[in-house]
Amino acid sequence: VQLQASGGGLVQAGGSLRLSCAASGSIFSINNMGWYRQAPGKQRELVATIANGGTTYYADSVKGRFTISRDNAKNTVSLQMNSLKPEDTAVYFCNVKYDRSRWSRDYNVWGQGTQVTVSS
């Protein structure tokens, strides 16, 4: 299973970006999908997740500004980022937890990362 992320870039503070991530390969079902980020010199941190049923979770730092969504038919997850701040600058990674079959479950895969830079 591979993840292909897109949508990063450079934006001024207050601007918006939309990240997308598509999963492909041998997937029986996808459970949680999410976005993480890692700023220079810092540990990777959770940004947002969305469960198969649509339940979402957001880090406090992005609540009210970011929105995560998924398209189960296309195996994609997106992150709409509004009111961006310089502290949102990081490499963003998508993550998918999935099952390969009814008997082969709980796999985890990461995307390659996409750079988001917010200038002040």
Look over the chain and give the mean of its residue pLDDT values, rounded to a whole number: 96
Question: How does pLDDT run across 58-91, given as a tens digit for each residue?
Answer: 999 999 999 999 999 999 999 999 999 999 999 9
User: Which residues share a beta bridge with 40?
Assistant: none
pLDDT at 71: 96
Rounded Cα distance between 47 and 79, Å, is 9
CB atoms within 10 A of CB 77: 29
Question: How does pLDDT run across 99-108, given as a tens digit for each residue?
Answer: 998 988 889 9
Rounded Cα distance between 78 and 41, Å, is 26
In the block, tokens 């990674």 appear at 93
